[in-house]
Structure 1
Amino acid sequence: MKPLDPKLLRHASAARRYMLLTAGLGLGMVALTVLQARGLARLLGHAREAAGGHGRALLWLGGVWLLRAALAGLQEWTGKRSAHRVIAQLRAGLLARLASGPERERASAGGVAQVELATRGLDALQPYLEGYVPQLLLTALATPALLVCVWRADPVSAALMAGSLPLIPLFMVLVGRFTREATARQLASMQQLSARVVDLITGLATLRALGRHRGVAAQVLRLSEAHARTTLQALRRAFLSSFVLELITTLSIASVAVGIGLRLLDGAMPLETGLFVLLLAPEVYAPLRQVGALFHASAEGAEAAAQAIARLEAPEPVRGTLAAPPLTCGTLELREVSVATRDAGRCAPEGLSFVLPLGQGRILGLRGESGAGKSTAVAAVLGLLPPTRGGIFLRPEGAAALPLGSLDLTTYWAQLAWLPQRLHLEPGTVRESVCRGRAIPASALSAAAEATGFDAVVARLPEGWDTKLGRDGQGLSLGQRQRLALTRVLAGDERLLLLDEPTAHLDEGSEQRVLEALKRRARRGTTLLLVSHRARTLEIADEVLTLPAHAASPAPLAEAA
């Protein structure tokens, strides 16, 4: 992100008002700084005069000091308030973008990184707005103004300051390049760690039942250690860069002080002028020095803001206009589909191809290790992730193949049902969570609940189907939420079902019951694309494709699941 990105001002109106107020307060503080230095220099330069003549001067200096402190406190107070408003506006815009249309489904398919960015990532923007931005504006206003004041009093000292000042931003740029890379790695490791921890907590019961919880815990431990290493690297660079900036500033002020001292000894400079320049010298360098120190404290938030702005300004995906053909006949074809991951040099899946007949009750299974791209393949079939290479086509019976990107996804989604790996249940009644706005007859709802075993769960709820659930199904266990999601899929009459780990969080008896229901649904002509780690779940598939764990690709675009 730039030191002060104009895009931030465009996406957050509170930032524009904040900049104007900060500029006004900065100019006031510059004027008070010059008055304070002038008054103190005059007082010390005439210290030998009668003490009674200094009372008014001391009162005047005290008033200037109090007024300057009041402006500094006002700037800090407005900085906190404005920072909260800017963060709230960015978060609202980001959440509105994620909650609209396909972006909402992309957020569901993309994992926890989106949530991490909208919550903790933007919270880290607080130091950037409270400290770095005001100090940056103060530097742009105060440094030139103070330098002009020094030049009018002593051109030689002004020339020394003007020659040494460019060294500070030069070293800031050199150090900032390394800091930016370390900060980006720190934010990425934080998002990856958060996603893994959420996965572990969500599927802990299933992992314990399968005896695989120890392996996942070891992965989380490795990720946390990697995050700690990247954080320490960022801190180490911040400390070193701060030391470099302090050293340059100290040497620059010392060179000015030495020159003034020699001229005072020779009688070539009045004492009052020398004191005035000496008092202003630290103030000339202080804004730049503070900018360098605050840059590292705000780097993580600035990186998160840059990502949020990039998402807000990302062009809307090009949507097709052709109505999707009926999914009761024809084929769904994937031709050498590859989707690049966020890890440079990888694709997951890589070169995936299959032809899935529609309307014939075929069940296609996808299996592979974590990270092989199974969930990403499902997201690509949904039209949520465009393939990096290859293509996805719907071929109506006796007609030419239609690229998925040319179709109106609304008409396509209306004919399919998707069970994601991570369930997102909106607040509402049980009936609303299952129907999701569809007009489902009571008989079909009861049959689907009986097929998944959810009828026993409903019978134990205090108000049955009208029981209200909290966010993400609060009030139900993980296994009960999974049965609710399966009931939602089986209650409709969609002809294509995309199921990602449908038997997760289910015991052996419930799993067998669900698999029987899926086989009955397939016998009615519904096509199933089934993703699972469990061999028992994949036994019902007519064909099983195994995705390789690692593959090479040059361009990082999407996140493999």
Structure 2
Amino acid sequence: MQHDGHVTTSDSAATRRRGPLDPRLLRRGRATLGYLIAGVAVGSATAVLTLVQASALARALGDIFATHTLTVLQQVFWLLVAVFAGKAVLAWLNQWLAHRAAAAVKSRLRRDVLAARLADPVDPGSSTASLVTLLTQGLDALDGYYSKYLPQLVLAVTVPLIIGIAILTADFASAIVVALTLPLIPIFMALVGWTTEARTRKRWLVQTRLAGHFADLVAGLPTLQVFGRARAQAEGLRRSEDAHRGETMGTLRISFLSALALELLSTLSVAIVAVGIGFRVVFDQVDLTTAFFVLILAPEVYLPVRQVGVHYHDAADGMAAAESAFAIIESAPTTPPRTASAPVPNAPRLSVDALSHTYPGAQAPALAPVGFDLHPGELLVVTGPSGCGKTTLLNALMGFIAPTAGRVLVDGAALDAASRRERIAWVGQTPGMISGTIADNVRLGDPDADDAAVRQALRQAGGGSLDPARGVGDDGEGLSAGERRRVAVARALLWVASGRADLLVLDEPTAGLDEGTETALLDALDGVTTVAVSHRPAVIARADRVLTLPAG
């Protein structure tokens, strides 16, 4: 069973506060920068249309009070219709641009996260369930960031500035009131945002923990049923669900309360402007048309800023998921760009020098210092009691982990992990399978292989009785454990036969196989430089070298 885990972030990443726009989103895609530039243009056009609307309405209302007739409405009606239509088109354009930017950034983040996980596939701080949650539901929450929060953020920068200048030219006293009260909203938003950020991050961790818990239960359900413990897990799952529900409701409470506070603050600010200008109209210090112009524009100054605070909660989930995605991307080992694999000229000599590894937080090493030399064409069998570090050794050879000490040399050279993996055909204890046919899975070792090569590889792996056209479901559904292992070994042998790999690394390759199939598989390894973990006597008997690891 896979242990429950979650995508973790480093302490510094979890504690430092990001601004309203994460610069890493700009670096991850030109779509965000392009949207911001277009958004400023759309916001400026929206502000201009708002000024035209306010000016037309103010003049119309002033004329109505002056002439006591409604004829002026006929003059401004079509102008207002055009303004409203223009604002609707701009709002649609803003949303369209936002959705395109969101799709581009999500696609880029997903590719980068997958690339980072492939560069560091053995990570005890992450689980498959949490990674799936992050790449699907988690990053999908960026839609709220781009479709609601970011458009309002752009409007909050452009619209209040343009409208504020218009109010300043019309009535200086009202502009002073707006200038003094408007900053109160972002200050309050920052206070609420810090609380929301911490609560949302906690909710995201609870959600990924729930996903990992559920995935563990599904994967281990057969084992739990065998031991009669399936029903006993319901209480633990219920506790995880209750924790997720509690965190979600807590986040919603903060959202509703902050929205109410922002509405109250902006309403009081507009009321102060209205009361002040009302008194000055009574004392003939301001004409009626100017008063209407300022009163119509005053709510438009506060609206975009207030909406930023309201929509921040729509963006919080996406920002928390993006933080987790960036933590994975930034923690991945950096490797130079790789070109397509080319055939290797000669079988390598593999040297391991004082290799050891201690996992973070562990007191004792998972792998005690070990060293060996493996010559071309030899079979090295690694054996030892459970927990002695056999899998850790294979992970270090593959470059899945960076060993605490020691070196792995190929032909005397210390290659980087990516270069080393290109030369290794790897078969783990639970090899992965794709949906398709057995032939499709074998051809992953060499996409150019013909049907005869596929059948030959299956025969060498002891799977001569398997039909290459037989269907395979998701993750090997429809294949037994032994059949899956034979298909995986055939895939690795085909990769070696293609000349692109010259070292075979196998973890319990003959487990679950009968004696005849085991013999056929071992015969196929003749002449192939191989490192295999096994406890089977037949495998050990065929080994050129045996490495016995001491108990941990």
- TM superposition score normalised by structure 1: 0.73
Q: Is the 8 A contact 2:382 2:534 kept in 1?
A: no
Superimposed CA distance per residue, residues 233-270 of structure 1 (whole angstroms, 9 cap, x where no aligned partner): 22222222222222221221222222122222333222
Give 1:467's aligned residue.
470
Q: Is 1:518 aligned to 2:521, yes or no?
A: no
Aligned-partner SS, 1:425: coil
Superimposed CA distance per residue, residues 186-226 of structure 1 (whole angstroms, 9 cap, x where no aligned partner): 22232232233233323433432344434555444333333
Aligned residues: 494
1:272, 1:287 → 2: CA distance? 24
- The one-letter code of the counterpart of 2:356 is L
2:366, 2:180 → 1: CA distance? 61
Q: Is the 8 A contact 1:168 1:248 kept in 2?
A: yes
Aligned-partner SS, 1:73: helix
Give 2:210's aligned residue.
193
Q: Is 1:364 aligned to 2:380, yes or no?
A: no
Q: Is the 8 A contact 2:408 2:414 kept in 1?
A: no
1:527, 1:9 → 2: CA distance? 54
Aligned-partner SS, 2:434: coil
Q: 2:35 aligns with which of 14, 18, 27?
A: 18
1:51, 1:409 → 2: CA distance? 81
Q: Is the 8 A contact 1:363 1:527 kept in 2?
A: no
Q: Is 1:385 aligned to 2:401, yes or no?
A: yes
Q: Is 1:297 aligned to 2:314, yes or no?
A: yes
- The one-letter code of the counterpart of 1:83 is A
1:381 Cα offset (Å): 6.1
Aligned-partner SS, 1:277: helix
Q: 2:428 aligns with which of 399, 413, 419?
A: 419
What 5-or-longer segments of structure 2 have no aligned partner?
1-17, 337-345, 373-378, 497-501, 522-532
Q: Is 1:74 aligned to 2:99, yes or no?
A: no
- The one-letter code of the counterpart of 1:102 is A
Give 1:180's aligned residue.
197
Give 1:556's aligned residue.
none
1:37 Cα offset (Å): 1.3
Give 1:535's aligned residue.
none
Superimposed CA distance per residue, residues 64-86 of structure 1 (whole angstroms, 9 cap, x where no aligned partner): 23332332233334433443344
- The one-letter code of the counterpart of 2:45 is G
- The one-letter code of the counterpart of 2:246 is R
1:121, 1:391 → 2: CA distance? 37
Aligned-partner SS, 1:184: helix
What 5-or-longer segments of structure 1 have no aligned partner?
340-346, 397-401, 459-463, 530-540, 546-561
TM alignment of 1:67-466, pairs within 5 A: 67-95=86-114, 97-98=115-116, 102-103=119-120, 111-214=128-231, 216-309=233-326, 311-312=328-329, 316-317=333-334, 326=349, 333-334=355-356, 337-339=358-360, 347=361, 351-355=365-369, 361-367=381-387, 379=395, 382-386=398-402, 390-393=404-407, 410-411=419-420, 414=423, 417-419=426-428, 423-427=431-435, 429-431=437-439, 433-434=441-442, 436-437=444-445, 445-446=458-459, 448-449=461-462, 458=466, 464-466=467-469
Aligned-partner SS, 2:51: helix
Superimposed CA distance per residue, residues 22-69 of structure 1 (whole angstroms, 9 cap, x where no aligned partner): 222211111111111122122222223152532213333333233323
Moved more, 140-149 or 175-184: 175-184
Q: Is 1:37 aligned to 2:58, yes or no?
A: no
Aligned-partner SS, 1:354: strand
Moved more, 222-231 or 440-449: 440-449
1:366, 1:20 → 2: CA distance? 59
Superimposed CA distance per residue, residues 435-482 of structure 1 (whole angstroms, 9 cap, x where no aligned partner): 7527999788447547xxxx77x3xxxxx1343535533544678646
Q: Is the 8 A contact 1:383 1:405 kept in 2?
A: no
Q: Is the 8 A contact 2:116 2:329 kept in 1?
A: no
1:273 Cα offset (Å): 1.6
- What percent of counterpart residues are identical? 32
Aligned CA-pair RMSD: 4.5
Aligned-partner SS, 1:301: helix
1:121 Cα offset (Å): 1.7
2:489, 2:157 → 1: CA distance? 60
Moved more, 155-164 or 481-490: 481-490
Aligned-partner SS, 1:334: strand
- TM superposition score normalised by structure 2: 0.74
Q: Is the 8 A contact 2:461 2:487 kept in 1?
A: no
1:218, 1:432 → 2: CA distance? 42
1:420 Cα offset (Å): 5.4
CA pair 140-8 structure 1, distance change in 2 beyond 3 A: same
1:108, 1:484 → 2: CA distance? 30
1:523, 1:21 → 2: CA distance? 70
1:378 Cα offset (Å): 6.5
Q: Is the 8 A contact 1:39 1:57 kept in 2?
A: yes
